[in-house]
Amino acid sequence: MTTSPHTITLLTRAGCGSCVTAREQLLPLCAEFGVPLETVDVDEAAAVDPELRAEYGDRLPVVLLDGREHSYWEVDEVRLRSDLTI
C-alpha cells in the first residue's frame, strides 16, 4: 500500500456520539487509501487555536481534507472516496 499525499482531520469534541460514528466510518476508509487520520478535539485545541472552535464548534463532527472543510455532521463517503482518488 502506498501512502496518500492527502491528509484527513476529524474535528470532534468529547461526548459527541456523531463524532465517534464519523471516526468509525473514516478509519477503514483511511486505511484503504493509506491516509493518516488525525483527530482534533476543538475544545482542547481552543487554548492554542480558539478560532477552530469558533469556526467549527457548532457543526461537529467536521471532516477536513488537506486542511479544507470537506463535510460536517456526517461523513460524505462517496464524495470523499472520489476526492481521494484525484
Would you list the domain boundaries of the chain? 8-84
Cβ pair 33, 48 in contact under 8 A: no
Cell of 72: 460536517
Beta-sheet pairing, 8-12 with 37-41: parallel
With residue 56 as reference, give the H or E element that holds it: helix 50-56
pTM as predicted: 0.91
- Could you list the pLDDT tens digit for every one of the 86 residues in the chain? 456 789 999 999 999 999 999 999 999 999 999 999 999 999 999 889 889 889 998 999 999 999 999 999 999 999 999 999 87
Nearest residue to 42 via CA among 24, 21, 56 = 56
Provide the CATH number for the domain formed by 8-84 in this structure. 3.40.30.10
Using CB atoms within 10 Å of the CB of residue 63, give its burial: 0 to 12 exposed, 13 to 18 middle, 19+ buried.
Answer: buried
